[in-house]
């Protein structure tokens, strides 16, 4: 049904994708199309969400689709959550190559239907999948951006707020680098209501929080036993969509394509960016300590290894 509203496509109706679609529906600023390869899954979840609209107070405007990308045509933003979780016996390279295939095919189909859209990649391994989306969409790099830094930074801020006994709203901090074991919580630029966090929390506790942030996703997986995080990842994706659709120009840590910034060239890496209606409108280069610079270089090398594996297998 054509409504004249903005349109957002969410690809993948699993936990992350469906929760993202629900959060976007509750924003009520756009129509949402939820797409999945499993027959009936997206349609069923869309019907359920539409039925909640009269209760929660949003227009029932979610469309479910089983691989029919014609319904996504003219989308302003495409959120890609598709992909497999790692299974027992599956190597990291196996997972990388399988998700390369999945993300590549859905990106191509969605980009052809919505050639002016901005793509937000959520699928893992995140930084590598951004390269796949960039390649298969043919879009300029500022219109392909990855969600990881918002999620990792949210975990970092929550842990710091608990430790300091303060409101999370007063904690300002961000995480850079690849989305994985090598991520770099930037302690030197972290503060609580303007007070450097190093003045409020002892170094040993800060070190522990940095490590817990790096292990945040694995900690959730270990506790759930049969799944991975989706409430926080979907919230991170929607914060990015808000900034794009509403042209808020938020400064958010996102996986962006670097062209020399931080001495990294031709690689997606988590850095602070201004995110607006045109996508990545500016990449911010912040001052880092020598140790943080070294950690960021190590993280970039880890991401490049994955990209090189994809290139070798292509």
Extended strands (E) in the chain: 6-11, 30-36, 62-66, 77-80, 118-121, 144-146, 171-172, 175-176, 184-185, 191-192, 195-196, 250-259, 265-276, 279-283
Q: Give the phi and the psi of residue 184 in degrees, each rounded to 5.
A: -125, 95
Place of tokens 């129509």: 31
CA distances from 143 to 72, 73, 74, 280 (A): 17, 17, 15, 7
CA nearest neighbour of 232 among 144, 137, 168: 168
Q: Catalytic: 179? A: yes
CA distances from 30 to 16, 27, 83, 120, 249 (A): 19, 8, 25, 16, 18
CA distances from 310 to 76, 95, 191, 265, 267 (A): 29, 11, 38, 18, 13
User: Number of helices (H) and strands (E), helices first, in the chain?
Assistant: 9, 14
Q: What is the DSSP letter of 119?
A: E
The Cα–Cα gap between 174 and 302 comes to 20
Place of tokens 């901090």: 173
Cα four-point dihedral sign 138, 142, 147, 152? positive
Which residues carry out catalysis? 179
């Amino acid at each position: 049904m054509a409504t004249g509203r903005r349109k957002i496509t969410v690809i993948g109706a699993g936990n992350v994708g469906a929760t993202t679609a629900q959060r976007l529906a509750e924003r009520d600023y756009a129509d949402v199309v939820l797409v999945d390869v499993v027959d009936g899954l997206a349609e069923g979840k869309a019907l359920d969400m539409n039925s909640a609209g009269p209760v929660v107070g949003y227009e029932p405007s979610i469309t479910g689709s089983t691989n029919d990308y014609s319904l996504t045509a003219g989308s302003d933003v495409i959120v890609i959550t598709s992909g497999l979780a790692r299974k027992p016996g599956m190597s990291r390279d196996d997972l990388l190559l399988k998700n390369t295939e999945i993300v590549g095919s859905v990106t191509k189909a969605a980009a052809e239907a919505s050639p002016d859209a901005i793509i937000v990649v959520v699928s893992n391994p995140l930084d590598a999948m951004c390269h796949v989306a960039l390649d298969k969409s043919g879009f300029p790099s500022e219109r392909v951006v990855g969600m990881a830094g918002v999620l990792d930074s949210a975990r970092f801020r929550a842990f710091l707020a608990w430790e300091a006994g303060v409101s999370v709203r007063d904690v300002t901090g961000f995480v850079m680098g690849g989305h994985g074991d090598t991520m770099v919580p930037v302690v030197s630029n972290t503060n609580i209501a303007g007070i450097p966090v190093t003045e409020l929390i002892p170094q040993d506790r800060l070190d522990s929080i940095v490590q817990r942030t790096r292990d945040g996703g694995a900690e959730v997986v270990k506790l759930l036993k049969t799944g991975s995080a989706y409430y926080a990842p979907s919230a991170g994706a929607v914060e990015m969509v808000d900034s794009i659709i509403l042209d808020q120009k938020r400064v958010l840590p996102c996986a962006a394509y670097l062209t020399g910034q931080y001495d990294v060239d031709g690689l997606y890496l988590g850095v602070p960016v201004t995110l607006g209606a045109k996508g990545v409108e500016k990449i911010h280069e912040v001052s880092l300590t020598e140790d943080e610079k070294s950690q960021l270089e190590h993280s970039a090398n880890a991401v490049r290894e994955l990209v090189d594996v994809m290139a070798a297998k292509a």
